[in-house]
């Protein structure tokens, strides 16, 4: 039994020593993402485009409501007994045409709404992926020269349950978030709004 315990100790000791020698840091990827000036620029551009889409849809909705009002008037006129039978027939015929126009406008309004929503979502995903890729590269470029063997994103969560993947990290671990944010915003064009970096915890 003593020989077995000794064998286990000899096998596990190198792994434990290797783990103890590892230099590990944590980073808050969400905070880095939100603090990056390119994220803020992208959000501003998406908001501007969204506002433009909303205005276009409001204009179309105004036109749709106007057509609806015309349909209602033609319907009332087609039943107005003070008008001649011929006049009522003309109103009924005009009503049919106007209803078709209204239905076409309704379909166009819904199609435009769906198309613009997909366009905004696609652009949001594309911009987010590009920014996350840049941040990951900055973290990689920073961590190697600093001698880190492992950098953990403390803001990450399970895709299935939403439970944080990092439930606890010691305050002894270096938090490189502030350094990463500083490097990310080092290329900010002159005149850009200042971003307050996340505080580092050592």
| 182 within some domain | yes
| 199 within some domain | no
CB 36 within 8 A of CB 131: yes
| 109 within some domain | yes
Task: Tell me 157's DSSP state.
Answer: B
CB 151 within 8 A of CB 24: yes
Per-residue pLDDT of the chain (202 residues; tens, 9 = 90+): 444 443 444 445 444 434 557 899 999 999 999 999 999 999 999 999 999 999 999 999 999 999 999 999 999 999 999 999 999 999 999 999 999 999 999 999 999 999 999 999 999 999 999 999 999 999 999 999 999 999 999 888 766 777 777 767 777 889 999 999 999 999 898 765 544 444 443 3
| 170 within some domain | yes
| 119 within some domain | yes
Provide the number of structural domains found in the chain: 1
Q: Which residue has the tokens 């005149």?
A: 191
| 153 within some domain | yes
CATH code of residue 51: 3.30.910.20
Domain that holds residue 53: 21-187
| 110 within some domain | yes
């Amino acid at each position: 039994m003593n020989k077995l315990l000794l064998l286990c100790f000899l096998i596990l000791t190198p792994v434990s020593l290797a783990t103890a020698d590892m230099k590990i840091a944590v980073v808050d990827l969400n905070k880095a993402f939100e603090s990056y000036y390119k994220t803020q620029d992208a959000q501003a551009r998406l908001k501007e485009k969204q506002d433009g889409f909303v205005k276009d849809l409001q204009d179309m909705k105004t036109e749709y409501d106007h057509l609806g009002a015309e349909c209602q008037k033609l319907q009332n006129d087609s039943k107005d007994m003070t008008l001649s039978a011929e006049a009522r027939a003309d109103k009924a015929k005009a009503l049919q045409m106007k209803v078709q126009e209204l239905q076409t406008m309704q379909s166009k309004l819904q199609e435009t709404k769906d198309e613009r929503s997909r366009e905004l979502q696609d652009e949001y995903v594309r911009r987010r992926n590009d920014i996350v890729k840049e941040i990951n590269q900055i973290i990689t470029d920073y961590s190697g020269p600093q001698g880190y063997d492992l950098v953990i994103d403390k803001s990450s969560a399970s895709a299935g349950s939403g439970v944080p993947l990092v439930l606890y990290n010691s305050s002894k671990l270096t938090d490189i978030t502030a350094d990463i944010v500083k490097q990310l915003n080092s290329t900010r064009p002159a005149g850009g709004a200042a971003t307050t970096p996340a505080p580092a915890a050592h």
